[in-house]
Structure 1
Amino acid sequence: MDTSPRPPVGLCLEMCPERERRERESQGRLHQLERQNVPRTGRNPRGRGRHIADPTKTVKEYNRPAAGKELSLPEELRPPATLLKTVQYLLMKVWDNVNDKDSACLAQAYSFVFDRLRAVRQDLTVQRIRGLEGALVLEGSLGFLLCVPYRVRNLPLADYDEVLHSTQVRESFAELMECYQDCRRFSRQAEFQSLLLLYDLGNLDAMNRVLQLPQSVQYAPQVRLALAINRAHLENNFVRLFRLVRQCECLQACAFYRHLPSCRYKAICTLTHAYSSRNCRFPLDLLTRLIAIDSPSLASDMCKRQGLMIISGAQTSVQFLKTSFKDLGPESRDREIQLVELKKGEASWAEIMIGQECVDYVTLKD
């Protein structure tokens, strides 16, 4: 007999509890994205004009459990439907309206959405929400966590902590896999099983766990593609790996994105050892296709940084020499037109993160 206390049930139907909204308003702790566009009123404790909260934009912020605050009051917790509405608001109304060319705006929006999604997960955990309700919320959150590294790749460490971000991705995946243990069918389970395989490239435990799932998930096209990419990676077959990566959809490509520099670096190392000769010429166009890079000029620049010589002529070639190769390690991540942007096409980032059907449903409801 289970004698553990029952988890609390959330009663807050707004994205931010009223008590927190008033408290942060009085303390001047409202995020810029939560304020009303009106002149400041009154005075906050620091003697400055006080911003007014917009109830339709204010979102519950993340609080560390060690902060000494009560995290399980029902009136402070949001039920699954409100949490899902919050995720949809953050992705469709906030993140989708960010200008990538404005780094300050991008950093501000990232910190806001990232923090508020942590609070969403916190409410899920406190209420022990699992099954379909938990999966819907976590899938949207993970869509953001997997896509955002591509958009914020040029932000400084002060604005984008890759280690903290990766920790949140792994914890979210772990919680989502618990939700999937429910016996019911989940429409996006195969998709997210494949995303986990691509994010944790080469993880044998993840591959083995997928092989124990129902055949409807195991043999789904997304999962079979992700497993094939993992096998190619483990076999160091970079030619097959990049050929398969070209078949990925946009969200899958974003999940794989963090591995691109290391995979290309290993490919260059392999080619350098295989074709190291002063009389050997490797076509630059062929190298560009093999490592799925956007243009021969980008491939040429990468080779030059590694100390390899580019030979001009009727056909531009690379001269692979072990003696001239500079072992500088993987390069920094950059823009990927073929693997990410062309696959995204005209779709919004929200459509990529939470699915076209969900966006259409919310838009129609609004």
Structure 2
Amino acid sequence: YLELDNYIKRTILQEEPLPHELRPAVVLQRTMNYLVGKIANHIPETDEELAQWYDFLWNRTRAIRKDITQQMMVNETAVILIEQCVRLHIFASHRLCELNFNEFDQKMNTETSITENLSKSLQSLRYLYDDLAKKGIFYSSEAEFRAYEIML
């Protein structure tokens, strides 16, 4: 069962989700595997489809990051998921760099917004690395992602 939750930004007036409304780590991993294997690997031909492809990926990866944050997940699964989000943002940024902005939602997909989404993902990853390092857990991929943050 794949749960491709749509990202919904909560306002102050909205209640936090109940524990049973959040997807467990195993479901988040299956969802990401689906996004990477079935969606990200099938890049559309037209600019319009490419914009829709990115909007879908952004929305679903944001929902995954939101679930990780709300569950305060600080473990290997969280690291792997956020690393995958970062790689998808980098890949999508490359694919979208020549796309005409009138093809897609300018509020969400301006160059600044794309960079902001990547930056937030890298920031989440940095916090995870730092928290896990305090427990003596280190990742060989950390240098790669710290370098992305420096280049940004």
TM-score normalised over the length of structure 2: 0.84
Q: Corresponding residue for 1:64?
A: 9
Q: Is the 8 A contact 1:138 1:172 kept in 2?
A: yes
Once residues 60 and 15 of structure 1 are traced to their aligned partners in structure 2, the CA distance between those partners, rounded to angstroms, is: 9
Identify the residue that residue 344 of structure 1 maps to in structure 2.
Answer: none
Change (3 A) 1:87 1:67: farther
**Displacement of 1:67:** 7.5
What residue number does 1:91 align with? 36
Deviates more, 1:119-128 or 1:186-195: 186-195
Aligned partners of 1:82 and 1:191: how far apart in 2?
Answer: 26
1:81-120 matches, cutoff 5 A: 81-99=26-44, 101-120=45-64
| Residues 194-252 of structure 1, C-alpha deviations (whole Å, 9 max, x = no match) | 222222xxxxxxxxxxxxxxxxxxxxxxxxxxxxxxxxxxxxxxxxxxxxxxxxxxxxx
Equivalent residue number for residue 133 of structure 1: 77
Q: CA deviation at 1:70?
A: 4.0
**Larger displacement relative to structure 2 (63-72 or 150-159):** 63-72
Counterpart of 1:65 in 2: which secondary structure?
Answer: coil
Q: What secondary structure is seen at the aligned counterpart in 2 of 1:62?
A: coil
Question: Is the CA contact (8 Å cut-off) linking 1:15 and 1:78 kept in structure 2?
Answer: no
Give the match's secondary structure for 1:107.
Answer: helix
Partner of 2:115: 166
Cα separation, 1, equivalents of 2:15 and 2:28: 19
Q: Say yes or no: does 1:192 pair with 2:145.
A: yes
Match of 1:175 among 112, 115, 124: 124
Residue 30 of structure 1 is matched in structure 2 by none
How many angstroms does 1:68 deviate by? 4.8
Q: Which has the larger displacement, 61-70 or 78-87?
A: 61-70
Following TM superposition, by how much is the alpha carbon of 1:93 offset from its aligned partner in structure 2, in angstroms?
Answer: 0.4
User: Aligned partners of 2:77 and 2:12: how far apart in 1?
Assistant: 28
Distance 2:140 2:127 in 1: 16
Alignment length, in residue pairs? 143
Verify the 8 A CA contact 1:61 1:115 in the aligned structure 2: yes
CA gap of 1:190–1:121, structure 2 versus 1, over 3 A, is same
Please give the secondary structure, in 1, of the residue aligned with 2:41: helix
Deviation at 1:131, TM superposition (A): 3.1
Measure, in 2, the Cα distance between the counterparts of 1:114 and 1:77: 19
Deviations 1:36-91 (A, max 9, x none): xxxxxxxxxxxxxxxxxxxxxxx101111118544421222111222122122112
Query: How far apart in 1 are the matches of 2:46 and 2:80?
Result: 31
Per-residue deviation, residues 79-109 of structure 1 (Å, max 9, x unmatched): 122212212211220121123x311211111
**What is the letter of the counterpart of residue 34 of structure 2?**
Y
CA–CA distance in structure 1, aligned partners of residues 78 and 94 of structure 2: 26
Letter in 1 for 2:7: Y
Which structure has the larger Rg over C-alpha atoms? 1
Distance in 2 of aligned mates of 1:176 and 1:120:
13
Percent of residue pairs bearing the same amino acid type: 25
Map 1:238-317; keep pairs closer than 5 Å. Answer: none
The structure showing larger relative contact order (alpha-carbon pairs under 8 Å, at least 6 residues apart) is 2
Distance 1:147 1:69, change over 3 A: same
Partner of 1:151: 95
Give 2:20's aligned residue.
75
Task: Give the Cα separation in 2 of the matches to 1:127 and 1:197.
Answer: 28
RMSD over aligned Cα atoms: 1.8
